[in-house]
Structure 1
Amino acid sequence: MPPNFGAASIDAHKEGQEREIGKHGLKKLLVKAGEGWERPSTGDEVKVHYTGMLLDGTEFDSSRDRGEPFSFKLGVGQVIKGWDHGISTMRKGESATFTIPPELAYGEAGAGPSIPGNATLKFDVELLSWDSIKEICKDGGILKKIVAEGRNWATPKDDDEVLVRFEAKLEDGTVVATTPLAGVEFRVTDGYLCPAISKAVRTMKREEKVILTVKSQYGFGEAGKKAHGNECAIPPNASLIISLELLSWRVVDYITPDRKVVKKILKQGEGYEMPNDGSLVKVKYVGKLANGRVFDERGLAGELFEFRVDEEQVISGLDKAVSKMKKGEVSLITIDPEYGYGNSVTRGSLSLIPANSTLTYELELDSFVKEKDPWDMDTGEKLKAAGQKKEDGNALFKAGKYQRASSKYEKAIKYIQHDNSFSEEEKKVVKKLRASSNLNNAACKLKLKEYQEAAKLCTTVLQVESQNVKALYRRAQAYVETLDLDLAEWDLRKALELDPNNREVKVELTRLKQKVCEYNKIQAKMYGNMFARLSKKVEDRGTEVQEVSELSKLQMALADIVLCSRSAW
């Protein structure tokens, strides 16, 4: 790309002012300002009118006299360096006079009888337009010339479904493939016709039209393609010229990491906001089975269907999908049985839903009211919201829904994690609420077998309340499972000192003793096996019986050490 000489000064350039571009003596007098902010870049095909003169005013060339604009490819050496550098600073419709020193023009040699050696030249240039030429691949295998700019800024992703129209030709003009007027649809990552088309659409905006110059490695390669039906044969190693238009596309989003809930956007929504957990949403939808039979519909004929996000008022897949939608968006949601009704036979509003059914919903998010975020609340609202989330978590825990309960406790903490704005009385409530939420969450983590997370939550509480018996007890439970038995013992004995009659702590202490015995037996067996193998090797080598005897004594002594390592018990 030509250097963007003096870009900052050019942006402030006023008509009638002359500025130097770069450090080699190139000067630009702005005669007429251009439109917009875009400038051509390397490889673009620019179209200009110009008049070239010597310093004494002698004219030696003019496109205006010929009545035809001059076109060239910018930045690839098709014109003198002064043109490449100077025209790269211009905007569409701009007129400027460039004073170009010899080293950026024709140097010592000059050019023909009209331009002597070491001549400084002047060019009056008007930038009429340019066609943007982009390299899609770094090897120059696909060049894209934009014929018509697209709308907006977004481009398709690999999983999106695009609708395109194209015509492919050989370099001699022979048409080898074309689409119907309505176009063809395909998933970007699957491609269509040849690799060049899927690579190109990844770079295109909606309604953009381009001409692709495609080398054979991105076309049909060394094999070419045999004639088929009305399609012509494509010779081996043939380059292609493809006129391609991206008519539209459907954005495809995987809502869950396991790709079992998929959202395909049929109509884009408004703005950028989406519902958060607790939002009250109003929707209308039609639910269908894989065979197309409608099993449920809401909000189509009358009042919109409303529910709160993340409150289990609809199936999990629908809940997760609507939280990724914008107001006014219409999407097709495909939901695996795991996020639907599972292996149960269920009745929809219109018909039965068989077990293990994959479901599709055409869903429109009419509107939503977001639940307040913590930073939008006063202290009273924060305390109330945190308390409610904790109670919600308690109800879910009792129902055995430990993952969802854990999420509620974490949300409770978010409302009160910063207590700078609370009054002294409120801080006392915050302290209790924070401790109980973290400890309840630790209980969830134990049920979910996330023992390290459980221990961390208990440690958070103990950093504030070092004598919290429940925190010591639950951390000890986590330590037992991670075989940090010494740490578990310390926590339990500390808890028993603080609360000698605590039955749960005593039961856990008994469990720990049993765990230690089991662990020691495993260790003794492991050492026994190790020394048995070692003694066998000694015997195989014909070593004296005395050595074996001494080794056996050592084996027994080490096993005893292991078994007695917790004599304090």
Structure 2
Amino acid sequence: MNDEMMNDTPLKVGDEKAIGNEGLKKKLLKEGEGWETPDDGDEVQVHYTGTLLDGTKGDSSRDRGTPFKFTLGEGQVIKGWDQGIKTMKKGENALFTIPTELAYGETGSYPTVPPNATLLYDVQLLSWVSAKDICKDGGIVKKIVNKGEQWENPKDLDEVLVNYEVRLEDGTLVAKSDGVEFTVQDGLFCPALSKAVKTLKKGEKVVLTVKPQYGFGEKGKQAVGDEAAVPPNATLQITLELVSWKAVTDVTKDGKVMKKIFIEGEGYERPSEGVLVQVKLIGKMQDGTIFTKKGFDETEVFEFKTDEEQVIDGLDRAVMTMKKGEAAVLTIAPEYAFGATESKQDLAVVPPSSTVIYKVELVSFVKDKKSWDMNMQEKIEAAGKNKEEGNSLFKAGKYLKAFKRYEKAAKYIEYDTIFSDEEKKQSKALMVSCNLNKAACKLKLKDYKQAEKLCTMVLELESNNVKALYRRAQAYIPVAHLDLAELDLKKALEIDPDNRDVKLEYKSLKEKMKDYNKKDAKFYGNMFAKLSALDSKHTTTPREAEPTIINSKA
């Protein structure tokens, strides 16, 4: 961040302000455009007029009629310029007062600048080309010719469409291509293209200076087809334009459900679990055989509820990552499709272990009403509805899905500061119930640490909650915290002596503790026996242990 940007208020025309703490001053003569300023490494183009404090005119690009170009931060100009021009916006005109320490110092610059001279420079920043060291080692330097749109950059999995032209330093054309598509992580032509394209925005055009390590190295490249040869250790000049790209997402994070977007959706909202979605879709096998088609050719759109197993898992998960109006191609492996069994669909039979491909467009979905748009009673009702859905999923053995429903229910009522007393009572009961049910899910999923935490949260609200004590004990037992489990079960029985489930768990715990005690006794018994045998093996006789006595009379 430059020094002027660190000041509290921007300059107004006619204002003067210190830049840094070495005596450099800047007076604004004309405001610039936008908010961006150049940085070290950028190639700037300026008009300037230099004078001494007494008004003696020195060098002037304006008199020559040719703007002056240089690279910021590389010592090509006096320090005062490097520091001052970094504070300017495009089109800005400023007068810099540059002390001798930041100008030509004790020696001056013969014949126009005497020794120890303070200088005045009237400078206008016409434009600049940003230069970025992409790999931070000088191997690929990028200069922006045309700025791109929006703010996103392509990722490794994305498919990009680019135009590029490659030349040697002497201008010899090596290769040129308009409208070539490739996957970023797979690369194209030379390593520099995949690295550089990840820094571009849609429509951005750049010139890359590519050192041999990111080009073709010590070996160079032989001529192939229309492409000329690249000599060993050659530096390349590559003009690269990112025309567009298709975002590709690994939906399941294991490479088995891949989504490639070809039409961007609207806004930022996506369907959540349990909402009704409307889609158009075409399902194909890898050989192109269509097995289902809905919503296209004026047929009715297909409706289903997300996260309720009404469609294959891969399609279900992918649709929940889509925005309204988004269209994508999904490639779904058998594990997330129809599995190892044959599946009869609308238009064809899908063979066992088939990878399937869907073209999907999300037409619409029923948005969940946001909690901040609900009144207190609506929040409580929404929490209750999601809790009941969670109960149904739990009974069906779908513990992870049930957990998500309970979690969603709890979020509606987690902030109850403005609830009435009655509403607070209702929300507390729901929160306790949801956390207990979440703990039950975690026990089924063998996530004992989280189950313990959830039960502890309940006990912070209700210290005598028997279910929380019981389930926390169940979480302690598999990780061998038997003493803690016993404490919880004892307390639960003090509160509810006739609770059958707790009594059975306590009886089972006692048996486990006996087994542990027997194993411990056996272990330590064996250990002590071994130590005793070892001691007897190395014990000396009393006579051997006596020190030698020297008879002084002998």
TM-score (norm 2): 0.88
1:97/1:422 CA distance change after superposition, 3 Å:
closer
1:324 to 321, 346, 360: 321
2:295 to 299, 303, 309: 299
- 501-510 or 269-278: which moved more? 501-510
1:70 is aligned to: 68
Counterpart Cα distance in 2 of 1:227 and 1:255: 41
TM-fit CA distance, 1:501? 4.0
2:273 to 264, 271, 277: 277
> What RMSD, in angstroms, separates the aligned Cα atoms of the two structures?
2.9
Q: Is the 8 A contact 1:277 1:371 kept in 2?
A: no
TM-fit CA distance, 1:493? 4.0
1:225/1:426 CA distance change after superposition, 3 Å:
same
Q: Is the 8 A contact 1:278 1:370 kept in 2?
A: no
1:413/1:22 CA distance change after superposition, 3 Å:
closer
For residues 210-359 of structure 1, the aligned pairs below 5 Å read 210-300=206-296, 301-359=298-356
2:128 is aligned to: 130
- 1:287-306 CA-to-partner distances (Å, cap 9, x unmatched) read 22222222222222233323
SS of structure 2 residue aligned to 1:6: helix
2:19 is aligned to: 21
Counterpart Cα distance in 1 of 2:54 and 2:97: 12
Task: Report the count of equivalent residues.
Answer: 541
* 2:58 maps to amino acid: F
Counterpart Cα distance in 1 of 2:57 and 2:423: 86
- 1:403-456 CA-to-partner distances (Å, cap 9, x unmatched) read 222222222222233433333334443344333333333332332222333333
TM-fit CA distance, 1:215? 1.5
- 1:277-335 CA-to-partner distances (Å, cap 9, x unmatched) read 34333221222222222222222223332333333333322222222222222222222
Calculate percent identity across the aligned residue pairs.
60
Counterpart Cα distance in 2 of 1:431 and 1:100: 69
2:92 is aligned to: 94
1:472/1:167 CA distance change after superposition, 3 Å:
same
1:111 is aligned to: 109
TM-fit CA distance, 1:532? 5.4
TM-fit CA distance, 1:385? 1.7
Q: Is the 8 A contact 1:262 1:333 kept in 2?
A: yes
TM-fit CA distance, 1:99? 3.6
For residues 48-87 of structure 1, the aligned pairs below 5 Å read 48-87=46-85
2:442 aligned with 1:429: no
2:198 aligned with 1:187: no
Counterpart Cα distance in 2 of 1:46 and 1:182: 31
Counterpart Cα distance in 1 of 2:417 and 2:256: 43
- 1:12-35 CA-to-partner distances (Å, cap 9, x unmatched) read 333344444344444434333222
1:26/1:457 CA distance change after superposition, 3 Å:
closer
Counterpart Cα distance in 1 of 2:505 and 2:16: 86
* 1:45 maps to amino acid: E
1:115/1:486 CA distance change after superposition, 3 Å:
closer
2:37 aligned with 1:39: yes
Q: Is the 8 A contact 1:213 1:241 kept in 2?
A: yes
2:371 to 368, 374, 377: 374
TM-fit CA distance, 1:368? 2.7
5+ long unaligned stretches in structure 1: 546-569
Counterpart Cα distance in 2 of 1:480 and 1:22: 65
- 399-408 or 229-238: which moved more? 229-238
* 1:342 maps to amino acid: G
TM-fit CA distance, 1:466? 4.0
2:527 is aligned to: 530
TM-fit CA distance, 1:95? 2.7
1:471/1:91 CA distance change after superposition, 3 Å:
closer
1:454/1:141 CA distance change after superposition, 3 Å:
closer
Q: Is the 8 A contact 1:106 1:119 kept in 2?
A: yes
Counterpart Cα distance in 2 of 1:108 and 1:466: 81
* 2:212 maps to amino acid: S
TM-fit CA distance, 1:254? 2.2
TM-fit CA distance, 1:170? 1.8
SS of structure 2 residue aligned to 1:392: helix
Counterpart Cα distance in 1 of 2:257 and 2:108: 69
* 2:328 maps to amino acid: S
SS of structure 1 residue aligned to 2:220: coil
5+ long unaligned stretches in structure 2: 542-554
